[in-house]
Amino acid sequence: MGSVANGLHVIVFANEKGGTGKSTTAVHVAIALAARGARVAAFDLDHRQRTLGRYLDNRAATIQRTGRELPMPRHATHDGESDDFFAETIARLSQGADFLVIDTPGRDDKFARIAAQSADTLVTPMNDSFVDFDLIGQVDPDSFKVTRPSFYSELIWETRKRRAKADGATIDWVVLRNRLQHIEAKNMRRVAEAMSQLSKRVGFRVTPGLSERVIYRELFPQGLTMLDSREFGEMGLAHVAARQELREMMAGLQLPDPQALAVVA
């Protein structure tokens, strides 16, 4: 796999918990980059759920059915078993791409670990709750202060050390806070404070993600995203808010400009 040094920026979405909006976020990032004119490829490593792969398959079918021109990443889905298929598909998708977006399963997985070590940007979406926070850190039950990083934080720490030793590159680890509408304000504040404490200890950045919106789930069958507003009629206030949220998330990821990557390549 490559990095910005050879004109490819690898973005890996990884979280060993399900239900965090990981695949939906990965799709939106891939299409947002393609809409900016970047050459984008996407690889779904979750051969069971196949959410990213099916989302983009649905998008390709919508393009074919309607004749509309929509930004469309090249994509493939792993079989979950073959080392050769993994390596060959990575090589094929990386060819001529500015960005490679990789979606990993919501569980520990050999290929997810390989992908994580090759990331330039590693994105961990999390819901605003201590149930999800437990993946990366443990807190005191009374004070809610962070007591120690979790196994997953330690795993990413080791992954970043191995990457630095291998080629001197830095993995930018970003934790996306997906806002859950049913979580009370006091609890959200406690989670935010715990994340801030832990980020200083293990070295990740925290940035706002996407809310728990029905809109995102409704767009899946057609493979559409919040960027395709002209394709699904009038936009209500919820759509406008979701698009703004997506813009803020993209800004928070601080990904390189596609034109800058083209110059490097």
Helix 51-66 and helix 22-35: axis angle, to 10°?
A: 40
The Cβ of residue 88 has, within 10 Å, a number of other Cβ atoms equal to 12
Which pLDDT band holds residue 213 (cuts at 50, 70, 90)? Answer: confident
Binning pLDDT at 50, 70 and 90, where does residue 86 land?
very high
Q: Comparing C-alpha atoms, which of 153, 254, 146 is closest to residue 193?
A: 146
Q: 2 or 225, which is more confident?
A: 225
Higher pLDDT, 102 or 240: 102
Sheet holding 40-44, edge to edge: 74-77, 40-44, 99-103, 9-13, 121-127, 172-178, 205-208
State the Cα–Cα distance between residues 228 and 6, nearest whole angstrom: 31
- For the chain, the domains span 4-249
- Average of pLDDT values for 162-188? 86
pLDDT tens digits, 21-43: 899 999 999 999 999 999 999 99
Distance between CA atoms of residues 60 and 52, nearest Å: 12
Q: What integer pLDDT is reported at residue 265 of this predicted model? A: 44
Q: Give CA 144 to chain center in angstroms.
A: 27
221 contacts: CB under 8 Å, gap ≥ 6 = 58
Model confidence at 260: pLDDT above 70:
no
Instruction: Please tell me which residue, 135 or 216, carries the higher pLDDT value.
Output: 135
pTM: 0.92
228 vs 260, higher pLDDT: 228
3-class DSSP state for residue 129? coil
pLDDT reported for residue 226: 87
Write down the pLDDT at residue 154.
94
Residue 264 has pLDDT above 60, yes or no: no
Cα gap 229→142, rounded to integer Å: 46
Q: What percent of the chain has pLDDT over 70?
A: 91
CATH superfamily, domain 4-249, is P-loop containing nucleotide triphosphate hydrolases (3.40.50.300)
First to last CA, the chain: 14
Residue-level pLDDT at 182: 61
Place of tokens 């809409």: 35
Question: 48, 77, 22: which is closest to 216 by C-alpha?
Answer: 22
Locate the DSSP E strands across the chain.
Answer: 9-13, 40-44, 74-77, 99-103, 121-127, 137-139, 146-149, 172-178, 205-208
- How confident is the model at residue 180, as a pLDDT? 64
| CA distance linking residue 144 with residue 126, whole number of Å | 18
263 pLDDT more than 60: no
| CA–CA separation, 123 and 188 (whole Å) | 20
CA gap 79, 56 in Å, rounded = 17
